[in-house]
Structure 1
């Protein structure tokens, strides 16, 4: 691989460079509903532990695919977390994992003190 040009290196040095792992969930034409509550409880617990960056369904609903972005020390930990998801444990979803480095982007948080609501965009 060639060396990064100086201008690009200067830009990259200021970027977030957050290393995460993306779990791509692949539906297997099986009904998810019987295990949906267990799956959601599992992800909520991981979220409380700080392991879930984001998660949700992906693509056409009938395909039953999803994506979960994990904060994990390494790919082995990300794989263990994915394998313990009730959908994976019960064989109704397969998954692949890809490392992902967040470089650019933005988000906004709007807090309303009067009623305790929040808006993310």
Structure 2
């Protein structure tokens, strides 16, 4: 969609300059979608989750999980994976190694994502030996 007041896109350098002083953490968002129904997704779920946990262990994984339908009542097999990588090409190579993608149960797209704003709160209750993240 074109904006009459300006261009459809601007160089990344302009965005970086406009957000100078913010986090500017480059991550990569992998959107994953079933290719042939949920049966094939579930057939590869255990290997997929083991792969995800390994990415987490190596410090590659930032966050991941299923994407619910808009009414928040069901799941159509879609997921979102946010990873740390040196480039989009490296992120795509990591995504291609996911057993879910290798088996053809899901397809994926990779988009560079720069984190500027937000917060993360970790609460540790010593007396209960529990923590929460919000």
| Cα distance in 2 between the residues matched to 1:84 and 1:48 | 16
Q: Structure 2 unaligned segments of length 5 or more: list them.
A: 1-9
**How big is the shift at 1:98?**
0.3
**How big is the shift at 1:45?**
0.5
Aligned residue in 1 for 2:104: 91
| Cα distance in 2 between the residues matched to 1:112 and 1:77 | 39
SS in 2 for 1:77: helix
Question: TM-score, normalising length from structure 1?
Answer: 0.87
Gap change, CA 1:115 and 1:21, over 3 Å in 2: same
- Following superposition of structure 1 onto structure 2, how do residues 102-121 of structure 1 map, counting pairs within 5 Å? 102-121=115-134
Contact 2:66 2:75 in 1 (8 A): no
Q: Deviations over 1:23-68 (max 9, x none)?
A: 0001122422221111111000000111010000013244210000
**How big is the shift at 1:14?**
1.7
Aligned residue in 1 for 2:77: 64
Q: How many residues align?
A: 116
Contact 2:30 2:95 in 1 (8 A): yes
| Cα distance in 2 between the residues matched to 1:36 and 1:43 | 10
